Structure 1
C-alpha cells in the first residue's frame, strides 16, 4: 500500500473516488481470462473461460477455488505462479480503457482524492500502474496484499478509505464487476459501474450500482451530473 501527503492518524476529512483497475481503468479482463485458463490447463484442470470471467475481481485464491472447486485449492501456489507468468507475457497488450487517465486526473483536479483499490497482486499492479501512468495524481494504492479477504467482502474498500484518509460520507467507488458493487455496498459506499469489463448493465444494477456508464470516457463526459459529485461536495 502506498500513500502520500498524510500522517498516520489524520482525520478523514476529504472526498475521494476509489477506482478498481482491472477492467475499469485498464482493458485487461480478457487477458486475465486467458492467463487463468492456461494456468488451470498446466495443472491438468480444464475450465470454461466464461466461468473465469465471471469471477474476475476477486483475488487469486478466491478465484481459484470458485472456478476450480476444492480440488483446485491444493494447486493455489502453482496456479498463481503460472497465472503470473502468462500475465507478464501478455502485458504488452495492456492498454488504458477510453478516458481512464483523463478521468483520474479530472477527479484530482476537483480537489478529490483518487485511490486505486484493486484485488490485483503486487506484481500485476505494478504493470497496471505503468500502463495507467497516473501515479502523480493518485492519493493511495491498495492491493490484494493489504487485506486477508477479497471482494465482495468490504475489507479492501475500508482499507482504501483509510489509506486515502477519505470521509466515507464523501466517497464513491468505480468498478466493473458485481464484486466491486457488492464490496462497496457492504462498506456503505455507492458504486458506479462501467461496462468496459464485460459485465452487463442489468447485472451491475441488480448488484446495487447507483449508475452505469459505458467506460471512463462516458463517465468523464457526464461527470458533473454523475454520482461522483458526492465526493466533490464540501
Structure 2
C-alpha cells in the first residue's frame, strides 16, 4: 500500500547544485580572515546546517555574537565573490524539476540558505527555474537550521499538503533528520558527499539528479510512499 505524492520539499545545496565544497571553503576563509584556525575537513561534514550550528561546533561561538555576525557576513561575501562563479548544477537538475512540475507535484524549497543565495542557486540551475517553485522557505523564515525541523515545518504549511503527502529530496543526514522530525520521508542523493550508511534512513537513494530522473518512473515520486516505511 502506498500514499500518492503530492508535493516535494527541495534542498538545494548538494542536491541540485554542486556547492557543498564551496560553502565549506567560504566558512574556512572567513574564519581564518578573522583570526581563527579552521580545518576544511572539520567544516565540510557540517555543510547542510546553518551558521547557528557551524559556528558553535567549529569555534565555540554563537552566530548572534559580535564575532559570529562578522564571520557570517564575511562568509556570505566570500561565497558570492570567490566561489559562486565556480558553482555548477548537477546533471539534469532542471529536467528533474520540470518532470516533477509537469507531473503536478507542488515544489517547495526547504533550505537553510539565505534568500539571496537561493536566488543565485536557482539561476545556476537554469532559466525560469524559480517559476517552477510554488513556494520557498529559507533561513529568513526559519532561523533554526537543519537538523532542526523548523524549515521543514514552514515548508509543509506553505505546500498546502499534509506531511504524509510530501517527500523531501536532500543529500545530507541533516535533511533526513529534519524531515523525519516533521513526519516527512526523504529520498536522498549521494551527490552531496555522504555515503549510503549516512543516508540509510531515506526510503530511496540515488547517485544524483540524473540518476533519479533516469529511474523516475520507478521512484517513490511516481510509485508513491510506502505506508509504514
TM-score, normalising length: structure 1: 0.88
**Matching residue of 2:39:** 48
What does residue range 52-63 of structure 1 map to in structure 2 within 5 Å? 52-63=43-54
**Matching residue of 1:177:** 172
Kindly tell me: are residues 129 and 187 of structure 1, through their superposed partners in 2, closer, same or farther at Cα, counting changes over 3 Å? Answer: same
1:139 and 2:139 matched: no
Tell me the distance in 2 between the aligned counterparts of 1:79 and 1:199: 26
**CA RMSD in angstroms, aligned pairs only:** 1.8
SS in 1 for 2:198: helix
**More displaced stretch, 52-61 vs 68-77:** 68-77
Kindly tell me: are residues 34 and 176 of structure 1, through their superposed partners in 2, closer, same or farther at Cα, counting changes over 3 Å? Answer: same
Tell me the distance in 2 between the aligned counterparts of 1:64 and 1:55: 10
Q: CA deviation at 1:227?
A: 1.8
**More displaced stretch, 176-185 vs 72-81:** 72-81
In the TM superposition, what whole-angstrom CA distance separates every residue of 1:134-179 from its partner, at most 9, and x where no partner exists? 1121111110110131111111111111112123221000101110
- Residue of structure 2 aligned with 1:108, choices 101, 110, 130: 101
Please list every run of 5 or more consecutive structure 2 residues that lacks an aligned counterpart in the other structure: none
Task: Report how many residues are paired.
Answer: 217
1:160 and 2:160 matched: no
**Matching residue of 1:198:** 193
Tell me the distance in 2 between the aligned counterparts of 1:138 and 1:71: 33
- Residue of structure 2 aligned with 1:94, choices 83, 87, 94: 87
